[in-house]
Amino acid sequence: MYARATDSKKADVIAFWMPNHESATNKKIDDYVISVSMLEARLADWGMPEVFDVGGLDKDFWGYAWKDPEGCNRQ
């Protein structure tokens, strides 16, 4: 998961769901961004239920969290 504060009062949190395969490269990372609630649902579908504590952040909101991820090592 990835979290960043967009200002002093708001933070966003996102998750990634990617295949364990050589085709999953950093050039395609945008294809794997999902919401935290989606990640929880997909893990449950795979028989590995997990609930993530994101400190009260919205698990369904991720629209702005991944735009211009400063400091991310993307090539």
User: For residue 62, what are the domain limits?
Assistant: 1-68
Q: Which helix (H) or strand (E) holds 45?
A: helix 36-45
Task: Note the pLDDT tens digit of each residue in 1-43.
Answer: 555 555 544 556 788 888 898 988 888 888 888 888 999 999 9
56 within domain boundaries: yes
- Give yes or no for residue 75 having a pLDDT over 50: no
Mean pLDDT throughout 52-57? 83
Contact (CB, 8 A) for 13 and 65: yes
- 72 pLDDT band (50/70/90 cuts)? low
74 within domain boundaries: no
73 within domain boundaries: no
When divided into structural domains, the chain yields a total of 1
75 within domain boundaries: no
Instruction: Specify the pTM.
Output: 0.68
8 within domain boundaries: yes
